Amino acid sequence: MNSLTLQPIGFIRTEKQVKFQAKHQPAEADAESNILELLPDLGYENALRDLEGFSRIWLVWWFHRNDTWRPQVLPPRGPSQRRGLFATRSPHRPNPLGITPVQLLRVEKLRLFLGACDLVDGTPIFDIKPYVPAYDSFPDATNGWIGEVDALLAAPPAYSIAFAPLAETQAAWLLDTWQIDFRDRLRELLSRDPTPHRTRRITKRGASQFEIGCGAWRAIFSVRDKTVTIDSLEPGYPPRFLQDPARAGMPDQAAQLAFYERWPEQPQ
């Protein structure tokens, strides 16, 4: 059997346009608007009968933005140490399938309203299965190296986060003008470990600064003692990309062009 043919049954609609916005483990206390829209005219209305009696469901889906894989990967959490792919949940897999348990809030015809999830907008869904606690939960199971990392992350953050005046002004403008705000995610990542890390998209920048990719944006920061200072923010794409008609539909495209107009002194 050289190949298999799968067809999506629907697509997820979320407010997450880029992977950076999707937390590794979604917080169910966060207010989110996620909708699974099933495809019409395929008989799925009857397939959804009796599902509303379950408070959680499994989604089987496809990492549709990934087309490569490697046998060892660098997980985003914990120390900079490569792990065997099959001991991780990396999206870069031989067959990029994902599984996620989510809260099922309600069903309206072919639309399933869901709680917090780690899927980006447009993710193709292959299957839905009910979550059954008696069969799907094993609280006494060991979780290998992840348990060690969780123990480290349970400790208080090692670094405090501060925003320089320019970064604070830029972040407030993004929120007020474009409803874009990734400050909490920055604090979450950098307060633990601001050192260069490929998967966390942290790289050295010049002699005394670093940068971290924040989806369609970048944050420039410096580290002194145990304080991380966000010095400035900037678009993740150069103007020539954002103005190219062939690249229409890039994440936060209009906001990035407006940012260049407001703060033109950016790398070109």
Which has the closest alpha carbon to 9: 93, 112, 131?
Answer: 112
Does the predicted model carry a pTM greater than 0.95? no
- Distance (Å, rounded) from C-alpha 48 to C-alpha 112? 9
Q: Residues 181, 182, 183, 184: what is their CA dihedral angle, to the nearest 10 degrees?
A: 110
pLDDT one-digit tens code per residue, 18-66: 555 555 555 566 667 899 999 999 999 999 999 999 999 999 999 888 8
pLDDT score, position 1: 63
pLDDT score, position 15: 81
Q: What is the CATH number of domain 160-262?
A: 3.30.2310.20
Cβ proximity of 110 and 45 under 8 Å: yes
pLDDT score, position 266: 58
> Per-residue b/e over 212-223, b at no fewer than 16 CB within 10 Å?
bbbbbbbbbbbe
**Domains 10-151 and 160-262 are alike in CATH topology:** no
pLDDT score, position 268: 44
Cβ proximity of 249 and 234 under 8 Å: no
pLDDT score, position 16: 73
DSSP states along 105-144: EEEETTEEEE-S--PPTT-EEEEEEE--HHHH--TT---H
Q: What is the CATH number of domain 10-151?
A: 2.40.30.70
- Distance (Å, rounded) from C-alpha 118 to C-alpha 114? 11
- Distance (Å, rounded) from C-alpha 263 to C-alpha 21? 24
Residues of the chain with pLDDT under 50: 267-268
Ordered by start, the domain boundaries in the chain are: 10-151, 160-262
pLDDT score, position 192: 87
Cβ proximity of 131 and 101 under 8 Å: yes
